[in-house]
Amino acid sequence: MPPDATATKARLLDAAVAEFARYGVAGARVDRIAESAQANKRLIYLHFGNKERLFQIVVERALAELADAVPFDADDLPGYAGALFDHFVGHPHLLRLAAWKQLEAPEATAAEVEAYRPKVEALTRAQHGGRVAAGVHPVDLLALIVGMVGAWFGASPALWTLAGGDPRSPERLARHRAAVVTAVRALTRTRIDLGELLSPEQQ
């Protein structure tokens, strides 16, 4: 029976995700991807083209999988932010891929733009319908939400030290998750109860 090309492509993509997340585009090696996938490296060029194109495919696949795993809900942005935070906790390679993408391949592909377009359109409708605060452009709003969700993972180790304890412990992550949800709620709701933003000592 001939080898299953679909299975081989899936193994190559999985190996490429790990390789690019660790080394970026410049540091990634086709030989290592092929070895990890237990495949001939010529199959990479056959199925995906060059290394740069393979990286774009990996990024586009990651965006599609993220959209499936964490559906966007413009009517529950705090819930979306919390779910996205949880997904990043369980899939830390996604943030590393995003960082390499910004550094080494910042130009947006059509597929990447289309991955964000429905979210921006949903935010626009929610703002026009009075369900989300309209003071911030929907593109800026989405960037702020995603930025807040990822902030803890990219924070300085010095800042983590001031928080006390293990910054990746379940307890510390849960506290920061709650802070993210609260911040997104305050940013996006049409009416803000200032009491929610104050600590007990400030109230």
Residue-wise pLDDT tens digits, 18-41: 999 999 999 999 999 999 999 999
- Is 90 in the same domain as 5? no
Q: What is the DSSP string of 93-155?
A: HHHHHHHHHHHH--SPPHHHHHHHHHHHHHHHHHHHTTSS--SS-HHHHHHHHHHHHHHHHHS
Per residue in 86-133, pLDDT (tens digit) is: 999 999 999 999 999 999 999 999 999 999 999 999 999 999 999 999
In which domain, by residue range, is 121 found?
70-203
- Is 22 in the same domain as 84? no
> What is the signed CA dihedral for 89, 93, 97, 98, rounded to 10 degrees?
0
- Is 28 in the same domain as 99? no
Joined tokens for residue 33 = 């991807």
CATH number, residue 35: 1.10.10.60
- Is 101 in the same domain as 36? no
Question: Helices 170-188 and 77-90: crossing angle, nearest 10°?
Answer: 150
Domains of the chain: total: 2
- Is 21 in the same domain as 42? yes
Per residue in 76-85, pLDDT (tens digit) is: 999 999 999 9
pLDDT the model gives residue 1: 34
pLDDT the model gives residue 165: 86
Cα 121–Cα 126–Cα 128 angle in degrees, nearest 5: 95
- Is 55 in the same domain as 74? no
Per residue in 128-168, pLDDT (tens digit) is: 999 999 989 999 999 999 999 999 999 999 999 998 889 99
Residue 166 lies in a domain: yes
pLDDT the model gives residue 104: 96
pLDDT the model gives residue 59: 95
Instruction: Give me the amino acid identity at 181.
Output: V
- Is 132 in the same domain as 172? yes
pTM: 0.87
- Is 117 in the same domain as 195? yes
